[in-house]
């Protein structure tokens, strides 16, 4: 009975140790993961064009970028792009793969998608500052240089 108890205690300890060490590769605490937002004219009056950008870093590989041209509380026009990203130090390479317009979805897998852009970043609290190092000639609206985590 004592040997069984010692064996079970050792097995339980091993399982707990593996559970704690297997979380080392988890990027859940990565400060880049989350929803980053920028609004050009916060609190804009009705009828004032107000561009809004949202970058969502979903996990360690996937992101979405949404641009909405607001007119008061209504969307004047907008689109969303999705893709994957890679990080090397503080340099992020975004590879855009799919485009969804306000009035439907278009998979543009040939031209101009996929395309890539790169930026370096610093994070201070809930503020991320970007510095573009490579911008696609296609992209009509690049993210602003400062975004706030929501």
Mean pLDDT over 87-97 rounds to: 90
Long-range contacts of 23-27 (CB under 8 A, 24+ apart): 27/59, 27/60
42 vs 106, which has greater pLDDT? 42
pLDDT tens digits for 4-59? 333 333 334 433 433 333 444 445 578 899 999 998 888 777 777 778 889 999 99
Contact between 122 and 146 (Cβ < 8 Å): no
| Domains in the chain with CATH codes | 34-149 (2.40.128)
């Amino acid at each position: 009975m004592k040997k069984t108890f010692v064996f079970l205690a050792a097995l339980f300890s091993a399982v707990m140790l593996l559970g704690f060490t297997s979380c080392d590769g988890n990027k859940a605490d990565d400060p880049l993961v989350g929803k980053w937002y920028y609004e050009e004219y916060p609190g804009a009056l009705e009828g004032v064009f107000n561009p809004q950008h949202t970058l969502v870093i979903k996990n360690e590989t996937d992101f979405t970028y949404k641009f909405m041209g607001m007119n008061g509380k209504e969307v004047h026009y907008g689109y969303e792009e999705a893709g994957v990203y890679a990080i090397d130090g503080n340099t992020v390479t975004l590879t855009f793969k799919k485009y969804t317009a306000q009035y439907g979805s278009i998979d543009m897998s040939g031209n101009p998608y996929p395309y890539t852009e790169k930026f370096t970043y610093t994070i201070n609290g809930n503020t991320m500052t970007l510095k573009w190092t490579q911008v696609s000639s296609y992209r009509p609206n690049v993210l602003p240089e400062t975004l706030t985590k929501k």
